[in-house]
Amino acid sequence: QQHRRLISRQRFINDFSQCLYEFVIQLLPTAEEMAVKEDVRKLLERLIRTIEPDSRLLSFGSSANGFSLKNSDMDLCCLIDSGERLNASDLVTMVGDLLERETKFHVKPLPHARIPIVKLTLDPSPALPFGIACDIGFENRLALENTRLLMCYASIDPARVRTMVLFLKVWSKRRKINSPYKGTLSSYGYVLLVIYFLVHVKNPPVLPNLQQMPPLRPISEEETHLNGYNIWFFDDIELLRQRWKSSNTETVAELLIDFFRFYSRDFAYNTGVASIRAGLLKKETKGWFTDDHGTGRERNRLCIEDPFETDFNVARCVTKDGLYTIRGEFMRASRILQARPDRAILALAQLCE
Ligand code: GTP
Ligand code: MG
């Protein structure tokens, strides 16, 4: 009896892995969509250069880190290489005016946000049935670096890492727990949770800690620091692919099931900080307290340290209710996957209902 159960569980795990791969593949953007987005980037770059001739417009976020889904928005960052620069707020206003005049985008400049950006949207058309949404920020070099870090992690073990991340992105959107404005977690936050789990929770680890590996040659403080933050990490992917061979052979289904179990039950939400740089840290040592000082705004319920901006909690927007909902969803997913479902495809559909 027990033997038979084990075999049927094993069969479920294999089927579920296969389903995950197939599910994720059809969610990837088409080559055509990527080409259109690249054209848009070039067009915007050309226009912005009429104001700042020495500027470059670079992609970051999902369109540059290997975690993009069909119709995901574009995150663009404008870098200005010459000396004399306008500040980000003024640039946002000027670029906003320019794009309003010169393009068909709906333009919304947000010059006074924590990170000033211009928001652009393009209405759906036959060629672009979902339109385009795009944010342009300025001089946000840390975002370019954290994008590169995530891209490196994805390319060490694309089959498992990319599949887990893409699945969780879709799942969190379908389950409506991917809205920082409504007290839940950003996509970036979910990606960090996955990497933290694969580097620090799984034993043996699936991924190495790229920020703690010894550099190949001595490097100066100047090369490693940006705005006072240490942004160094081991980024020689070719070499890593040759040298890093994880002894963890779990399938993507097993990893995902364990991911849900860990974040529904085991993670120390009340006291812990998930840091992909340093492992599990304490809220207390970072001075990240839940106390809202009477402002009524919840802070630090869930703590995820940014890989470079270590004084920044990526999950700062997650409220008490938001965290309760997110953990409830982790539990629901765990329950569905433990309930000995006999058809993997049905379990997957139920997960993303
Ligand atoms: P989708 O837009 O949902 O496809 O996901 P995404 O991968 O683009 O993630 P998201 O839009 O959440 O974030 C895009 C990029 O912005 C990330 O890769 C980071 O570089 C940066 N970013 C987002 N949120 C934060 C944050 O809270 N802190 C910092 N430092 N960077 C952030
Ligand atoms: Mg994005």
- The string of DSSP letters for 304-325 reads EE-SS-TT-BTTTT--HHHHHH
pLDDT in tens, 72-95: 999 999 999 876 677 889 999 999
pLDDT in tens, 171-227: 999 999 999 999 999 999 999 999 999 999 999 999 999 999 988 888 888 889 999
pLDDT in tens, 4-33: 988 988 999 999 999 999 999 999 999 999
pLDDT score of 83: 65
**Mean pLDDT across the chain:** 93
Give the distance from CA 195 to its chain's centroid. 10
Q: Where in the chain is the domain with CATH 3.30.460.10?
A: 31-143
Which among 28, 34, 169, 187 is the best mutation to test ligand 1's pocket, defined by most ligand atoms within 8 Å of the CB? 187
pLDDT in tens, 138-172: 999 999 999 999 999 999 999 999 999 999 999 99
Which among 60, 186, 192 is the best mutation to test ligand 1's pocket, defined by most ligand atoms within 8 Å of the CB? 186
Distance 41 CA to ligand 2 centre (A): 14
pLDDT score of 81: 84
**195: which 2 tokens?**
């990497």
Q: Is 188 in the pocket of ligand 1 (CB under 6 A)?
A: yes
Q: Where in the chain is the domain with CATH 1.10.1410.10?
A: 157-207+246-351
Mean pLDDT value across residues 89-111: 94
Q: The domain 157-207+246-351: what is its CATH number?
A: 1.10.1410.10
Mean pLDDT value across residues 266-282: 98
Q: Binning pLDDT at 50, 70 and 90, where does residue 296 land?
A: low
Q: Is the model's pLDDT at 341 over the cut of 80?
A: no
Write down the ipTM of this complex: 0.94
pLDDT score of 243: 87
Distance 44 CA to ligand 1 centre (A): 20
- The string of DSSP letters for 216-249 reads SS---HHHHEETTEE------HHHHHHH---S--
3-state secondary structure of 77: strand
pLDDT score of 294: 66
pLDDT in tens, 242-267: 889 999 999 999 999 999 999 999 99
Q: Binning pLDDT at 50, 70 and 90, where does residue 279 land?
A: very high
31-143 belongs to which homologous superfamily? Beta Polymerase, domain 2 (3.30.460.10)
3-state secondary structure of 67: coil
Q: Binning pLDDT at 50, 70 and 90, where does residue 125 land?
A: confident
Which residue owns the Cα nearest ligand 1 atom 26?
314
Long-range contacts, 262-269 (Cβ 8 Å, 24+): 262/197, 262/201, 263/193, 263/197, 263/327, 263/330, 264/327, 264/330, 264/331, 264/333, 264/334, 265/334, 269/301, 269/302, 269/323, 269/327
Q: Side-chain half-sphere of 288: how many Cα atoms within 13 Å? A: 25
Q: Binning pLDDT at 50, 70 and 90, where does residue 298 land?
A: confident
